[in-house]
Structure 1
Amino acid sequence: MPDTPRIVSLIPSATEIVDLLGWRDALVGRSHECDYPTAIQDRPVCTQPKFQPIGTSQEIHDRVMKLLQTALSVYDVKVEVLEALRPTHILTQAQCEVCAVSLADVEQAIAELTHSQPQVISLEPTVLADVWQDIRRVAQCIGGETAAAEAEQAIAALQVRVQCCRDKTAFIAERPTVACIEWPEPLMAAGNWVPELVELAGGRCLFGTAGEQAPWLEWSALVAADPDIIVVMPCGYDLVKTRQELAPLTQTPEWDNLKAVNSERVYLTDGNQYFNRPGPRLADSLEILAEIFHPDLFDFGYRGQAWQKL
């Protein structure tokens, strides 16, 4: 690692990667959404949303869409905070303008800095293999060859956990069909790494394609597919907020006729802390799904704090 690196992470998953690599003390700034591990919450906040992130899922969706339709970014980068922090490296993303500050936002902010020109590391994972590669890239860019070599140990430990789930589910003949809901209103299924996690956990993903963005979902398609299991994992919502925002699902007339509802196989998860963050805790997300799908095979202890039955 170079002398006294000063890292600013503008996306929660990157903050978790920095912590995994043992560089928590080098983290001098974070985004308003970076909240894990709890020890980093005293770092200065470098971003803020341009919309009120409160209200129903439909209201939040409408505010975000209005900003995007007017060609405005969804988040602000606090240039004056970056100026004071003088970072050597800034971690950001180029995947989703709704989830976090965009690469363009960061580049514009850096252009306004007068005291430093930090190196920008932009992450854009779509599947598990990309997450492992991002860990390698962050290690290499900040710490050089030595750090990159050490990162392989951390990646290997995560891959062992993934392989454990894969091995135990490999010979399951009857895999439950699964619908993962990433947003309640308008209805959206989960994409990117989530379909891959579903398959690794011993399920059959009905909606979304591994490596592709989350698709909007028609209620008629959900009813026609009639999944064995429904997992609700709204982007940015914890368990409490997820339960509060179930009305668009549970009050839809077709809801009570779904197989998953009648067999009591609807599950709520903390999507904010797990499934929506393409970092080290995707291994936890996989284990959560394995617990839900096959409780006879898996018990990692997530029930209650990471997921609940409806």
Structure 2
Amino acid sequence: MRRFPPERIVCLTEETVETLYLLGEQDRIVGVSGYAVRPKGVRQEKPRVSAFTSADIPKILALDPDLVLTFSDLQAEIAAELIRAGVTVTAYNQRDVAGILAMIRHLGATVGQAAGAARLADRYERRLAQVAAQAEGRPRPTVYFEEWDEPLITGIGWVSELIGIAGGREAFPELAGKDKARDRIVTPDRVIAAAPDVILASWCGKKVRPERIAGRPGWDTIPAVRTGRITEIKSPLILQPGPAALTDGLDAILAALAPPPERETP
């Protein structure tokens, strides 16, 4: 890193972009992922230099970054290529709520906004605690979250935590600690056996089709299917382990878990 705080930052995932904007440090960003959508208009304001598992390395280098921010093993090769080119890279790998909060604090300190980032993270922590307290003592519906449909992938760490905070019971808690998607594949029969009361789905890059979920063989016995409680949560709100998941993502889970209104008797 040639300057501190870094003046020219490239963000290859959504969550660091949103964090820097929330901290008022968006002017440091000189390049973003094509998947960045928060805040609205960011892709018009900043050059797009990557997808998720691929990046335009020459374009990134031409931006003369002091720092490139990446996420997870899926961007390891991108990070390695940039490091070999002499670029400073910070690779985040947050997989749970504590990790999201730690990322916010660390990134804030990196750009000279340690106090502001601490306030932001503390605010999220207080809200999460309040939501969890409100859920205490209430019946907990079993919730199946579908991250992908072919094959069925579930149990992503921070989403499982947020389901619990919102007052639900994760259908596959034993999978929540597994980082790699291939380790969180379930069979349709296992979902049927789990008998979820609520199905949440977020298929990264494509629209959820509730009728396809409901029409799977044998799934008509699942309580969530029988009662029509199948809800899509847009992937930018829940599949990015950053501020969006702790705010709008959590709100979407809360809305989906709210008891359906009782029908009035004639």
The TM-score with structure 1 as length reference comes to 0.75
Of 241, 247, 258, the match for 1:294: 258
Aligned residues: 253
Runs (5+) with no aligned partner, structure 2: 261-266
- Say whether residues 1:234 and 2:207 are aligned partners: no
Compute the displacement of 1:180 (Å): 0.8
Tell me which residue corresponds to 1:76.
54
Tell me which residue corresponds to 1:109.
82
Runs (5+) with no aligned partner, structure 1: 50-74, 297-310
Q: For 1:82, what is the secondary structure of its paired residue?
A: helix
Q: For 1:242, what is the secondary structure of its paired residue?
A: coil
Tell me which residue corresponds to 1:282.
245
- Say whether residues 1:44 and 2:22 are aligned partners: no
Tell me which residue corresponds to 1:32.
34
Let me know the Cα RMSD of the aligned residues: 2.2
Tell me which residue corresponds to 1:265.
229
Compute the displacement of 1:3 (Å): 6.2
Of 2, 5, 23, the match for 2:4: 2
Q: Is the 8 A contact 1:28 1:85 kept in 2?
A: yes
Q: For 2:176, what is the secondary structure of its paired residue?
A: coil
Q: For residues 160-199 of structure 1, what are the structure 2 equivalents within 5 Å?
A: 160-172=126-138, 174-199=139-164
Q: Is the 8 A contact 1:89 1:142 kept in 2?
A: no
Specify which structure has the higher proportion of helix: 2
Q: Is the 8 A contact 1:231 1:268 kept in 2?
A: yes
Please say which of residues 22-31 and 286-295 is displaced more in the overlay: 286-295
1: CA distance, partners of 2:176 / 2:222? 25
Compute the displacement of 1:295 (Å): 4.8
Q: For 2:147, what is the secondary structure of its paired residue?
A: strand
Tell me which residue corresponds to 1:120.
89
Q: Is the 8 A contact 2:5 2:110 kept in 1?
A: no
Compute the displacement of 1:253 (Å): 1.8
1:23-43 CA distances to partner (integer Å, 9 max, x unpaired)?
111110011212221232121
Compute the displacement of 1:2 (Å): 3.5
2:66 partner letter: T
1:279 partner letter: G
1:108 partner letter: E
Compute the displacement of 1:175 (Å): 0.9
Tell me which residue corresponds to 2:120.
154
Q: Is the 8 A contact 2:8 2:66 kept in 1?
A: yes
Tell me which residue corresponds to 1:225.
194
Q: Is the 8 A contact 1:165 1:290 kept in 2?
A: no
Of 165, 169, 177, the match for 1:200: 165
2: CA distance, partners of 1:76 / 1:269? 25
Q: Is the 8 A contact 2:9 2:65 kept in 1?
A: yes
Tell me which residue corresponds to 1:55.
none
Compute the displacement of 1:246 (Å): 5.3
The TM-score with structure 2 as length reference comes to 0.87
1:200-256 CA distances to partner (integer Å, 9 max, x unpaired)?
11011111443323410111111111111111122334xxx123x853x23322122
Compute the displacement of 1:94 (Å): 2.2
